[in-house]
Structure 1
């Protein structure tokens, strides 16, 4: 099974988000696809609309995506992939940025001959602030509300009007373990997310 060409578009396709190519981003997901990341949880089509709103705001992002590790179901109709990424963000009004390192854990499914993302969740490894125009003051108390692994990213999202409403998976956490166990159980059992 030649996986690289089948899954290349899911991982490099995130460039459509950075470039504001909303229809192409929407096409990466099944119609019932879902996504859970720091600032958005819900149907993928709503995520695309929310991303368009973010793209029109003072908050800018760029995603650097690595090659995925892909595991297929026995019948070849489903797969789980894990992909490392770096989210580079900047709020141009605040003159504050961040680099957030994460991993996407995706459930992929082939329907009517087409592979698309059914479910995307993120695990956060670490994040740091950047200062594109020089050092600015940061409220350490506000930042400390979030797990250190994504505190810089969450703080910048919140200051940009995109609230982070709960705790998300971090490297080595119980939440990460649950995401992976559930994804691989789905792969073995053939159940949809």
Structure 2
């Protein structure tokens, strides 16, 4: 059986490098993706470089985030790999005194080019979430929360109230969207 210890270490460093976003280390964050890399998450879809620019705007807003990243599970095929990683997104709008905690799985397509592993595409599957009230209960608009799948409704609500709207439905645990995401990824892995 082939051992890929060095590749696994490089990919683990790549995935845990997401903390650069929480720290506002923007150029280091840009370096996690290949130049043609894309991302699809609740509040942004498109080229990764533009995502970093939008993240800078978010970092200057009243909304703060912290991502807790687990150990990635990696499936290799040559210089390509699918990486699935448990994560937790903690969000807090300091002006609204309202936050959220969302458990998700980052689902990444990574590729080794010129000897370096970087992300080609990042998506997320949302597993469950809830609100956080750091300074006591605040009123939540139930009709707004109800527009989103329960698994990420709290995150979407706080994002929307912070000026970062969620415009479509994303994959949740066991959903058809998750199955399609994984099927498309397997096809990409073997091409």
Category of TM-score, reference length = shorter chain: over 0.9
Report the Cα offset of residue 147 of structure 1.
Answer: 0.4
Partner Cα separation in structure 2 for residue 33 and residue 135 of structure 1: 40
Among candidates 154, 157, 176, match of residue 156 of structure 2: 154
Among candidates 22, 27, 37, match of residue 26 of structure 2: 22
Q: Does 1:107 align with 2:109?
A: yes
Can you give the 5+ residue segments of structure 1 that lack an aligned partner in the other structure?
none
Residues 29-40 of structure 1 aligned to structure 2 (within 5 Å): 29-40=33-44
Among candidates 51, 54, 57, match of residue 47 of structure 1: 51
Q: How much is the aligned-residue C-alpha RMSD, in angstroms?
A: 0.6
Partner deviation per Cα, 1:41-77 (whole Å, 9 max, x = no partner)? 000000011111000000000000000100000xx21
Partner Cα separation in structure 2 for residue 8 and residue 48 of structure 1: 21
Partner deviation per Cα, 1:114-136 (whole Å, 9 max, x = no partner)? 11000000110011000000010
> Contact 2:8 / 2:74 at 8 angstroms: preserved in 1?
no
Partner Cα separation in structure 2 for residue 107 and residue 44 of structure 1: 13
- 1:8 is aligned to 12
- Give secondary structure in 1 for the equivalent of 2:51: helix
- Give secondary structure in 1 for the equivalent of 2:150: coil
- 1:183 is aligned to 185
Among candidates 83, 88, 98, match of residue 81 of structure 1: 83
Can you give the 5+ residue segments of structure 2 that lack an aligned partner in the other structure?
none
Among candidates 146, 153, 164, match of residue 144 of structure 1: 146
Partner Cα separation in structure 2 for residue 8 and residue 172 of structure 1: 25
Report the Cα offset of residue 6 of structure 1.
Answer: 1.4
Partner Cα separation in structure 1 for residue 172 and residue 12 of structure 2: 25
- Give secondary structure in 2 for the equivalent of 1:149: helix
Q: Does 1:129 align with 2:131?
A: yes
Relative to the length of structure 2, the TM-score reads: 0.97
Relative to the length of structure 1, the TM-score reads: 0.96
Report the Cα offset of residue 4 of structure 1.
Answer: 3.0
- Give secondary structure in 2 for the equivalent of 1:167: coil
Among candidates 162, 165, 168, match of residue 166 of structure 1: 168
